[in-house]
Amino acid sequence: MNFKIKQASVVIFTLFMLVITSCKSDFSNPNNPTEEVVFDSKEGLFAISIGINQYFTTTVLQEVIEAPAITTRELGVTNTFLSINELARGGSELAPESGGITDPWVRLLRAKGMAESLIAAVDVVDLAAGTRSGLLAYGNFYKAMCLGYLSGMWEQTVITNSPSGDAAFSDRSIVLAEAIRLLTAARDAINANPVSSDFTNNVLGGDFNLLKSINAFLSRYSLMAGNYSDAITHADAVLNDASAPVSSMFSYDANNVNPIWFRIEPGASDLKPQTNFGLVGAFVPEAGDGRVAFYLGADAGTANADAGGQALSQALGFWTSQTSAIPVYLEGEMLLNKAEANARLDQLSNAVTNLNLVREKTNDALGVNAGLAAWTGNATSQTDILEEIYKNRAIEMFLTGMRFEDSRRFHPNLDPASNNLTNERNRNFYPYPSIERDNNPNTPADPAN
């Protein structure tokens, strides 16, 4: 999805004023559109959509990948910055004041508020049916993504922003149900009125398949919610969809750089991928697993001793340059969603079949190919199958922001306080940022760990 930079920068500023602040001062600026111009024209709604995408992909995506990746050992800390070291140590050392959790919270709520503004404005403007369905689906998609990432890090979160700062919190199950509802409405709107060429040309661009992306996140959130049959159905909708483009990508340029590359590229001094994806013991990748060479490069030293001291590697994959595109979802995730859902439904043969499609894959559209032989473990053991699925999710879906969620789901009884510097995860959920607690009386009590 290519950026329309001039439009987006203006709209992001305007949306911040409308969504985030309660300041009543009126600073006249002829270069900024008024609220009426933004919300009362098709061009304004297109610009808002572009602005949401730019803010999410350049600012929010860093937070939803980086914080969970440090918590779950995908990334090792190589700097003394307090926020990332607090994430690496976890437990009670991750304080509510930490920027490591404040930044993702604030930025996700901002992006969610932008999407809410777009959704509310769609019915205000006279639009062609396919343009309206595209805008509505787009707003729903981004709000649902924000809700899903929030629920992946916090036990409770805010479904709808409140201008007065007293938004209600909802449990994860309710938040996920709302994300699924938004995505279902988005899918149904597009199926009823296919997205117009006007919206595609001016907002989506040629490298983003909105319907496939919606179905992919429906599969993801259905799995997280325990709706296993639905997770399989939605994954199949992605895998069986032959429409172009084949994959959906977040695209970057010299002015809007890949935010993960910026933090882990060879010259960066903050973070590096942990060797073997931070996996240990039975989860270490097998010899010859092509995904190791795809994602990880040369030796990059070790993490700080007080952040774990693990061996590090240079980053490859989707982070080789400042303009490397990042996938919105991976084909391998859809296959692994099917594998896990089948396993949890005790349909073990189907689970192994989909697991092997990932292990044996050599023709992935984005080059994420394990190229391994079929799994030789105990195909009658649900436990063994699920452990192999977890291992492959950890490798295949490296730095997608999903391992924190996966670790809790596959290993709910793990004690994150035990061996907090080397454990699979060092928290179950994050505490609520002080900035929220200080301003919102509805903020829940912090989780124990």
pLDDT at residue number 38: 67
- Establish if 390 belongs to a structural domain: no
**What range does the domain containing 68 cover?**
5-260+407-437
Q: H-helix or E-strand containing 171?
A: strand 169-171
Reading the block at residue 175, the tokens are 């938040």
Q: Is residue 399 part of a domain?
A: no
Token code pair at residue 73: 């050992």
Tokens in use for 64?
């939803």
Q: Render pLDDT for 21-54 as a digit per residue (tens, 0 to 9).
A: 322 323 333 334 444 546 789 999 999 999 999 9
Give the Cα separation of 127 and 90 in Å (integer): 49
pLDDT of the residue at 40: 84
Mean of per-residue pLDDT scores for the chain: 92
Helices 61-71 and 129-153, packing angle to 10 deg = 30
For the cut 80, the answer to whether the pLDDT of residue 6 exceeds it is no
Give, for 301, the enclosing helix (H) or strand (E).
strand 296-302
Does residue 395 fall inside a structural domain? no
Q: Is the pLDDT of residue 132 over 50?
A: yes
pLDDT band (50, 70, 90) for residue 170: very high
What's the mean pLDDT in 212-229? Answer: 98
Q: What is the arithmetic mean of pLDDT over 344-373?
A: 98
Percent of the chain with pLDDT over 90: 90
pTM of the full structure: 0.93
The DSSP symbol for 274 reads B
Residue 82 lies in a domain: yes
Domain membership of residue 329 (yes or no) is no
Q: Report if residue 384 sits inside a domain.
A: no
Do strands 296-302 and 156-158 pair parallel, antiparallel, or not at all (unpaired)? Answer: unpaired
Is there a domain that residue 382 lies in?
no
pLDDT band at 165 (very low <50, low <70, confident <90, very high): confident
The domain spanning residue 11 has which CATH number?
A: 1.25.40.390
Sorting pLDDT into bands at 50, 70 and 90, what band is 157?
Answer: very high
Q: How far apart are CA 18 and CA 255, in angstroms?
A: 25
Decide if 256 is inside a domain.
yes
The reply to whether omega before 245 is within 30° of 0 (cis) is yes
Higher pLDDT, 122 or 165: 122
What distance lies between CA 225 and its chain's CA centroid?
A: 16
Phi then psi dihedrals of residue 437, to 5 deg:
-65, -35
- CB-based contact 139:122 (threshold 8 Å): yes
Number of domains forming the structure of the chain: 1
Q: Tell me the per-residue pLDDT of 400-419, one tens digit each, with 9 for 90 and over.
A: 999 999 999 999 999 999 99
Has residue 287 got a pLDDT over 50?
Answer: yes
Q: Exposed (0-12), middle (13-18) or buried (19+): which is 245, by Cβ within 10 Å?
A: middle
Interval 288-317 mean pLDDT: 97
pLDDT tens track for 376-386: 999 999 999 99
